[in-house]
Structure formats: structure tokens, C-alpha cells
Chain A
Amino acid sequence: MKHFLPVTALVVISTFLVAAGIDSLHLMPQNASVQGETVDWLFGLHFKLIAFLFSLVIVIMVYAVVVFRRRAGDDGEGMHFHGSGTLEFIWTVVPAIIVVFFGYIGTTTLITVTAAQPDEVAIEAVSRQWVWNFNYPDDGFSSEELYLPVGQPIRFDLKAMDVLHAFWVPEFRVKADAVPGRTNVLRITPNRIGEYKLVCAELCGTRHAYMMAPVKVVSREAYSAWVAQKVAEEAAKNTPEARGAALYISQGCKGCHSLDGSKIVGPTWKGLYGSPQELTDGTTVIADDEYLYNSIVKPNLQVVAGYPANVMPQNYGELLTDDNINNIIAYIKTLK
């Protein structure tokens, strides 16, 4: 019993020190969503438990290591006892109660975080290698930037067009995978005006690290103004070139083909139309309408030297109508 007081005192002191240390570190970026408040609250609870359990085990271990070390000249054996059913029972049942309690808290908070809101607005987040795209179905336009009105519950419908991606804005705390063939739902109510970054959290290939999109949480007035501007832009988009430019973004061409002459994964579109292209089989063709059409529909037919085959999806012929393909070609023609 002579060890009981010092050990207890050390555990208590250590618990407070560790908990205070964790608090002072500012471990996470500033929260910016209603759901995040629940998440952060649970994190706080977890950190307190961690501080206590860490101190409990480490203090007792270090104490034993120091106090029960073999002194010089002592050749005896340790105390002889095989265990204690009471103790084992206690440290089975108490942790079991604690984890069930945490399970219960986990359940209620999960229900809070995933609950549908009556006035929520749906936004479709479409992911492709390696770009994000946001469709605002209520207003009929799509955007590369995610604008959100502050205080407005949002339901994100997550879609993936090729491989797995995951939708994560650290400041919003919650994340969900975008799975091909499914529509996963993520609910976020942003509550803090500011600029954030949406990142892809599921390894999705070569440019995974760079798969980001800007997120702007703005006041409701600014949001309405932005929507009006996007709607107007949408109306102006009715030329083939403009539709092509929109397809360049919405179909993910942007992920691999640059507009400024730099090499990403596929050939740049700058100055592409009418230029000679050297192919892997050694021949050279002029990039005319037919060539461009074929390159979109059957990308492996004529592969430009220096670029890998099999990277571009083979199914654009099914995804795009001929009109759309011609719009894209019209757009490419404008890129001198």
C-alpha cells in the first residue's frame, strides 16, 4: 500500500500535464462546419481518455522500472504471486464499460453528423482522375470551384467516373469516398466564411497528391451574386467553342491535357489543331478534324510518340455524342 499514494498522485499529475499538452498544441485546422463541432467535441473526449490511459500505463511502468529494479548484490527472486482474479475482472469490466460508452457516444454523434436536414441543398461533386467538378442542379450549371453559402445545409452527392476518390475538406472534418457506380452522400453545413481546399483522400493514381479544388464559403449575398454570374455565363456558353470549353472541364480532359503548352499526361491542346504529330509507329499525321475525332473515340489507335498508351479512357465514344465531340474539336481549334 505504500506505493498507492505516490502512484496515484503521479498518474493524476501526468494526466493533467498530458491533457494540457494536447490542448496547447492546436492539433487541427480551424473547424468550419456544424458537423465539425460534433467531431471536435468527440475528439476532445478521446484526447482526455488518451491522456489518462497513457499516464496510467506509463507511470506505473516507469515507477515499477525504477522502484523494483534489482539492487547491486541482491540475488533473490521477485514476489511470488500468480495474479488476481479480482483485478483481472476489474480491468476487463471497466474498460468494457468505457468502450461501450464510447460506442454509444459514437452512435449518437454519428447520427447527428449524418442526419438529413429539411432545407438542405444538393450539390453533385463529380470526381475524375484528377479533377473535381461541381454540378449545381438547382441552378443548372457546373463549376470547378466549390462555392457554398454560409449556414446552408448542403447534401453532397459524390460520384466517381473512373476510380475511387474521396471528398475531404479538413476544415469541414467529415469525409466520404466517391465510388464508381454508386452515389455516396455527405452532409456538411459550413458555418465559417473563408477559403479552403478540397482534396482527394483516396489514392487514385499518378496525380493523386494534386487532386484539389478550391472551396469558398461566402455570405448568402455573395453566393447569390456568384450564382447569377454563373447562370449568365452558362447562357453565353451556347457557341460550339464555349460548349467545348465546358466539356473540357466537365469531362475531365483538363486532368491530362494542358492549354498552355505544358506536358501533363497527354499532349497539350495549345496549337494542336493543324500541327504535325509524330506517332509511336514512326509516321506523322496532321492533327485535323478526323484525327482529333479518332483520338477521342479510339485513343489507342494513333498514339503520339512520347506518351503512354492505355491511359486515356476508351469509352469517350460512348460518353459523348458526336455533337459534343465536334464542340470539343471546335474548342481545340481556338487554342492557337
Chain B
Amino acid sequence: MRTFFKLGFVRGLLGQVLGTLFGMGLVTGTRAALGYDPLWAAEPAWVIGGLLGTLGFMIGVGALTDWAKWAIGVETPMHHGAPAGQPEWTRYFAVDLSHKVIGVQYTVWGIMVLLVGGFLATLFRVELLQPGMQYFTTDRYNTLISAHGIIMISAILLGVGGMINYLVPLMIGASDMAFPRLNAFGFWINVPASLLLITAMFVGGWDTGWTAYPPNSLRTALGGPLFFLGFYTIGISSIVGGLNLLVTVFTMRPPSMNLFRMPIFVWAAVGTSVLQLLATQLVGLAMLMLIVERSLHMGFFTPVLNEAAIALNSPPGDPVLFQHLFWFYSHPAVYVFVLPGLGIISELLPVFARKPLFGYKWIALSSIGIAFLGFLVWAHHMFTSGMSNYLRLPFMYATLIIAVPTGVKFFSWLGTLWGGKLTYPTPMLFVLGAISVFLLGGLTGPPAATITTDLYLHDSYWVVGHFHQTFFGGFMFPFFAAMYYWFPKVTGRKYNEALGKLHFWLMLPSFWVMSLGQIWAGLLGMRRRIADYDPALGVQNIQVWITIAAFVIALSILIGLYNFIVSARSAEVAESNPWRSRSPEWQIPSPIPEHSFAMPLAVVGEPYDYGLPGSVYVRMAPAGAGD
């Protein structure tokens, strides 16, 4: 029991509750002091409460302790291992500075958030089985889809954070990330953010979708501002995570590892991090503007003017401004989600094909190209918003051009497969599944990119199908591939191969059914985000298939998790390099010791020279040797 209350996580939760109550009290007290009536104003109380609750969590969990000590001039040496006098497992529930622990924390919390988001999806899929409203009110339904969207996005960001934090320092032979405390902060801020998002569902919900378009988001229920706040908080995590990774990659590589000798996943992580670092600020700003417009009536997005504004000759606000700010992040965010996944595909293919990665430089530069182009295409989400053709056309061209670097990746993957000695353990199956699914996403993109056809597809179920394909192909399948692939490295044990294959063979076909069903429903004229559909559209059978497929996907993921949990506790001990990989993290024992590399790394070969007799990629060299 004492141990329980000493866990940073538990203290954080207490801190969040206390902070929220304090914030609410602050608002109510201020209103009392100013003589407002009534004393209780739900929105400011919840917003300030949510803000201070987040701060309370971070204080409670201890993520700010070292910085507070620094501020008053106290030395804060790095701490390794479990908290003093506590068992080893407790470090996963506390602020820990090791990137390996933080990577696991990101991944586990990400999977938990993913389960919540998936659960919401199954709920509204049941509602869509037949026309008419059976189980929910339309308001409740709208809250469910909105929450599904943002919760899944936060889950994907957490999964991306997990993979990047765990793998990148190992792959470049660094002892840790450049800023371990910032790293821990970046993870823990996600926890109060997730809780804010879940709370938002229970204090009235919100019916704007995850896009939060005003003016609807200015009028929606109390869940709205909590959702904005949660989204903003997740954004903070993205920014500090991206910053930390870029510094790590640029300064902490061994001198012998030049940019084109990094494992390919590191390139993808760099692309992702650039987008996270720069683009996220804009969505944060957009969310902040929504909050202040709601609470202080600052008219950024409403075209209605009050009398004083008319007297000032003030121009009106404009809802379309929000869409620009929002998509300037939220389109690149798609590449934040998929670039690491595509990196995983490129990373794993050579290992299971036993031959070099085809066109390393092209794949590496295509990641950077996608990241760069990602900044120039945001307005393709707004082709119907009333922009003139002169504005729409450049965005159409930029969007179509993204197909080029993406195509380079596809063809290079085929080149990697060609002439290999392919084996098909679970990670490889997930990689191949990812390619097929991402291919669907890639092919359903261009019709939505050319404006003429997008005028039909925009806001239809086609779009729903398209982005589920890109997220499953670009994140979910590669994520599970990574989970199975690095499972022996992280836990030191073997996963159950039969269950892994069952997971894959349930998930892949059901996903194809689900997403092709969505595509078809969209073509038949079904809109996005509708609680109820017109039976005359003829999509009911399709909806039944989508729902069944969604449940099979959910089942397969539960099987996968069961496999991970049971195998981590009691499976056979794995050898240190079961896949015969050349990457640095496989040259050290499993599970990885506290200080990953006993000796500095020296890069002495190409990363993917599989099949070249006698060549190695890295050598553990005593300090000073090598290079």
C-alpha cells in the first residue's frame, strides 16, 4: 500500500484531482470576490480546472521536480534505476529518465489509449448497423465519433513516441536522448491530456468531430473546451518530443556514423520530428484561439460584429482562418503518423529478405521530401470551403506531387523484396500487410487530390476509408510489426508465433473488408460523421460488413495484446539477435542493460549489407579506437 501511494503515477492522479478542484475553486472564488452571480460558471471553472489539473499532475508525478530544483540552485544529478528503496517495476509508474523506460511507457499508455478509442469505434459501429437511431442520441453519437478521432490521434502519437524514443538512441549508439528530463516531461504530459479528453466526453461531450471547426465548436457543449485543452496539451508533448529527437540525432551520433549510414528508421524519425516541432504550434494556436473566443468573446472566427466593433469599422472574423491554421498542422500530422511506420517497413524488409535495402538514399531523402512537401498541401482539406481556383490549383499540384516520393518508397520496397530469401515470421507478415494496406491508401488519395473529383468525395465516407487505410498501413500494421520484431529485445523473451500469425490473418482481411466497404459507401453518396443514414442510399449491407470487420479487428488486437502480456511474463528466453540483424541494438544483450552500450560504437560498414560476406555495420570499440 505504501508502495502504491509512492508511485509517481498515483501521485500525479491525485495532483490532477487537487489541481482541478483548486482551479474550479479559484474561478468560483474570483467570481464571488467580484460579485458575479451565479457563483458557479461551468466553462471557466472547467477550463481553469483542466489547466491547473494538468499542472497538478505534472507536479504530482514529479516531472517538474528537477527543474524546480534547478531554479532554486540545487544540484540535480542523473538518476538511474528504480526509485530509491522501491522494486524495479515501479520505475515504469514514475518519472524515469531512461529512454528505454520512457519508450515502454509511451507504448503501453499508447496501447491503452488505443483500446479506449477502439472501444468507442465499436460502440458507434453498432449504431450504424441499421438506419434509424437505436442505442444513442445523435448528440451522444457525435461525441463518440469526435472522441474516437482525437483519442486515436493521441494514441498514434503515443505509439510513434514509443517507437522513436526506444529505438532511435539505440540505433545511433547514443547513451540516451539529449534531454532526458524533457523526454520524461514529454511523455507524462500525455497522461493528463488523455484524461482531459476522456473527461470531455462525460461533461456534455462535443459534436464537432476532431476538426473542431468553428462556429460549431464555439457553440458546442462543455466537452468542447476540455477537448481543445487536451488537444493543446498533446501538442506540447509533440513539440518537446520532436525537439529532443532532432538534437539527439544531430549531436549524439558516433563521429563515424555519417547521415547516410544511419539506420533508415532514424531518417523517418527526423522527418516526423521536424513536422512535430514546427507544425504543431499552429494547431496549438488554433485551439487557444477557440478557447479565448469562447471565454472572452474574441471574434477570430465569427463573422458577427457587436456595436462597438461596428463603430471601430472592424473587419469581421472568419471561420475559414481556423481551417488554415488547423490544417497547417493537421495535414503534416498525417506524415507524423505514417513516416515512422514507413521507416519500420524499410527497416524490417532487408532483415527478412536477407539482402540490402534497395535505394537507401532515395528512401531516406523521400522521407525528408514527404516531410517538406507536407507543409505545402494543407489547403487540400478545404477544396470546398470557397477558395478561388487560383488558390486551389497550386495545392492540388503540391498534393499530387507527394505521390512521387511515396511511390519511390513503394518501388524501393519491391526492389528490396526482389531476389531475396524471404521468410515470413509475424513481423514480416505485418510489414507485407502494411504495404498492401498503405497501397490502398495511396491509391485512394489522388481522386481526392484532384479538385474536380474531390468535389464529390469531400466529406464523404471515401475520405473515412482513405485515411483509415493510410493510418493502418502507415501506422497500425508497422506498429504491430515493430512490437513483434523488437519484443525479444525489449522483454528478453519470445512471443508466441502461432498467436501472432492468428492476429495477422484476422486483422488483414477484416481491414480490407472494412476499408473497401467505407470507400464504396462513400462512392454511393454516404456522408461522413452522420449518426443516421438514409436507407435509400443502399449502404446498409455495406455497413453490416464494416461493423463485423471492425469487431474482428478489435478481436485480433486483443489476441495480440494477450500474446504480448503472456509472453512477456512466462515465455521462453530469447537469444540476443534472433533475426540476425546488423543494427546496433541487436548486438547487445536482451533485455538491454541500464547503460545500453558498454563501449562506444564505431561504424565500420554499411547498415544493410546483408549477404556481403564478412561485413559488419558497427563494432563496439574501446574509447578512442575506431574511426
Q: Is A335 an interface residue (CB 8 A)?
A: no
- State which residues 52-77 of A face B: CB under 8 Å: 53-54, 57-58, 60-61, 64-65, 68-70, 74, 76-77
Chain B residues within 8 Å of A204, by CB? 216
Q: Is B389's CB under 8 angstroms from A110's CB?
A: yes
Contact A78 B529 (CB under 8 A): no
Question: Which of B356, B439, B534 contacts A58 (CB under 8 A)?
Answer: B439
Return chain A residues, CB-CB under 8 Å to B600: none
Please judge, given known A-B contacts A39-B452, A80-B355, whether A70 and B142 are in contact too, CB under 8 Å: no
Q: CB-CB < 8 A to A283: which residues of B?
A: none
Task: Collect the chain A residues with CB atoms within 8 Å of residue B209's CB.
Answer: 203
Given contacts A57-B414, A60-B414, A210-B532, A174 and B216 within 8 Å (CB-CB): no
Chain A, residue nearest B385 (CB):
A177
Known contacts: A163-B216, A203-B207. The answer to whether A79 contacts B401 by CB under 8 A is no
In angstroms, how far is the closest chain A Cβ from the Cβ of B465? 12
A100 to B452, CA, bound (A): 15
Asked if B121 lies at the interface with its beta carbon under 8 angstroms from chain A, I say no
Neighbouring A residues of B525 by C-beta, 8 Å: 28-29, 170
Contact in complex: A54, B443 (CB < 8 Å): yes
- A49 interface contact, C-beta 8 A: yes
The reply to whether B533 and A78 form a contact with Cβ atoms under 8 Å apart is: no
Out of B316, B389, B417, name the residue touching A114 (CB < 8 Å). B389
CB <8 Å contact, B527 and A199: yes
The answer for the CA separation of A209 and B533 in the assembled complex, in Å, is 7
B389 to A111, Cβ gap below 8 A? Answer: yes
- CB within 8 Å of B: which A190-227 residues: 197, 199-210, 212
A88 touching B414, Cβ below 8 Å: no
Closest A residue to B420 using CB positions? A78
Contact status A203-B216, CB under 8 Å: yes
Assess the A181–B316 pair: CB atoms within 8 A: yes
Contact pick for B458, options A65, A175, A182, CB 8 Å:
A175
Whether A42 contacts B453 by the Cβ 8 Å rule is yes
Task: Name the contact of B320 in the complex, choosing from A57, A170, A179, A185 (C-beta under 8 A).
Answer: A179
Instruction: Give chain B nearest CB distance to A199 CB in angstroms.
Output: 6
Binds A, one of B21-29, B279-287, B392-400, B559-567: B392-400
Q: Is B30 on the interface with A (CB-CB < 8 A)?
A: no
Picked from A42, A164, A174, the residue with its CB within 8 Å of the CB of B215 is A164
In contact, B452 and A64 (Cβ under 8 angstroms): no
- Nearest chain-A residue to B530 (Cβ)? A209
Q: Flag the segment in B47-55, B261-269, B335-343, B357-365 that touches A.
A: B357-365
Tell me, in angstroms, the Cα distance from A163 to B536 when the chains sit together. 27
Contact between chains at B216 and A105 (CB < 8 Å): no
Contacts of B397 in A (CB 8 A): 100, 103
Q: Is the CB of A197 within 8 A of B534?
A: yes
CA A162 to CA B531, docked complex, whole Å:
21
**Residue picked from A54, A70, A110, most chain B C-beta under 10 Å:** A110
| B228-236, B403-411, B546-554 - the one binding chain A | B403-411
Does A315 belong to the interface (CB within 8 Å)?
yes
- Say whether, besides A74-B421, A79-B355, A179 and B386 are in contact (CB < 8 Å): yes
Q: Smallest Cβ distance from A306 to chain B, in angstroms? A: 14
The answer to whether A113 has its CB under 8 Å from any CB of chain B is yes
* Segment at the B interface, from A91-99, A141-149, A253-261, A320-328: A91-99
Contact A92 B415 (CB under 8 A): no
Tell me whether A206 and B138 are in contact in the complex, defined as CB-CB below 8 angstroms, given that A46-B450, A78-B353 are known contacts. Answer: yes
Is B154 engaged at the interface, CB distance under 8 Å to the other chain? no
By a CB distance below 8 angstroms, the chain B residues around A151 are: none
> Contact between B452 and A42 (Cβ–Cβ < 8 Å)?
yes
Any chain A CB within 8 A of the CB of B483?
no
Measured in the bound complex, the distance between the Cα atoms of B527 and A203 in whole Å is: 9
Q: Is A102 an interface residue (CB 8 A)?
A: yes
Least distance between B223 CB and chain A CB atoms (Å): 13
Is B626 engaged at the interface, CB distance under 8 Å to the other chain?
no
B142, B408, B435, B455: the one contacting A88 at CB < 8 Å is B408
A113 to chain B: closest residue by CB? B452
Interface centre among B317, B459, B610 (most CB of A within 10 A): B459
Q: Do residues A46 and B446 form an inter-chain contact, with CB atoms below 8 A?
A: yes
Q: A202-B213, A209-B138 are in contact. Are A82 and B356 (CB under 8 A)?
A: yes
**Other-chain contact of B532, A65, A103, A209 (Cβ < 8 Å):** A209
- If A164-B215, A201-B459 touch, does A83 touch B447 (CB 8 Å cutoff)? no
User: In the complex, are the beta carbons of A80 and B612 less than 8 A apart?
Assistant: yes
Using a CB-CB cutoff of 8 Å, which residues 307-325 of chain B contact chain A? 316-320
Beta-carbon nearest neighbor of A71 in chain B: B421
Interface pair A83/B359, CB less than 8 Å apart: yes
Q: Is the CB of A38 within 8 A of B420?
A: no
A78–B355 contact, CB under 8 A? yes
Interface string of B527-545 (1 = CB under 8 A from A): 1111111101000000000
Least distance between B218 CB and chain A CB atoms (Å)? 8
The closest CB in chain B to the CB of A163 belongs to B216
Q: Does B256 count as interface, using CB distance less than 8 angstroms?
A: no
Chain B residues with Cβ below 8 Å from A53 are 439, 443
**Chain A residue nearest in CB terms to B209:** A203
A87-B415, A103-B400, A109-B452 known; A209 and B531 CB under 8 Å? Answer: yes
The answer to whether B419 touches A79, judged by C-beta atoms less than 8 angstroms apart, is yes
Identify the closest chain A residue to B455 (Cβ). A174
The reply to whether B530 and A208 form a contact with Cβ atoms under 8 Å apart is yes
- A78 lies within 8 A of B451 (CB): no
With A163-B215, A174-B455 in contact, do A78 and B319 touch (Cβ < 8 Å)? Answer: no
Q: In whole angstroms, what is the CA distance A208 to B415 when docked?
A: 48
User: What residues of chain A lie closer than 8 Å to B530, measured between beta carbons?
Assistant: 208-209
Contact in complex: A77, B354 (CB < 8 Å)? yes
Please, which residues of chain B bring their CB within 8 A of the CB of A207? 138
Residue-wise interface mask of A (309-327) relative to B, using a CB-CB cutoff of 8 A (1 in contact, 0 not): 0100001000000000000
Q: A82-B356, A162-B215, A180-B303 are in contact. Are A68 and B420 (CB under 8 A)?
A: yes
Q: Is A27 close to B, CB under 8 A?
A: yes
In the assembled complex, 24 residue pairs joining A and B whose CB atoms fall closer than 8 Å, in A order, are A39-B456, A42-B453, A58-B436, A64-B414, A65-B424, A68-B353, A68-B419, A68-B420, A76-B421, A77-B421, A78-B419, A78-B611, A79-B420, A80-B612, A81-B358, A82-B606, A84-B415, A95-B404, A95-B407, A102-B400, A105-B450, A111-B389, A181-B318, A182-B318
Given contacts A50-B443, A175-B384, 10 further A-B contacts (CB under 8 A): A39-B455, A64-B414, A70-B422, A82-B360, A99-B404, A103-B397, A168-B527, A175-B456, A182-B320, A203-B213
Of all A-B residue pairs in the complex, the 6 with the closest CB atoms, nearest first, are A181-B303, A78-B355, A170-B525, A77-B611, A106-B450, A78-B420
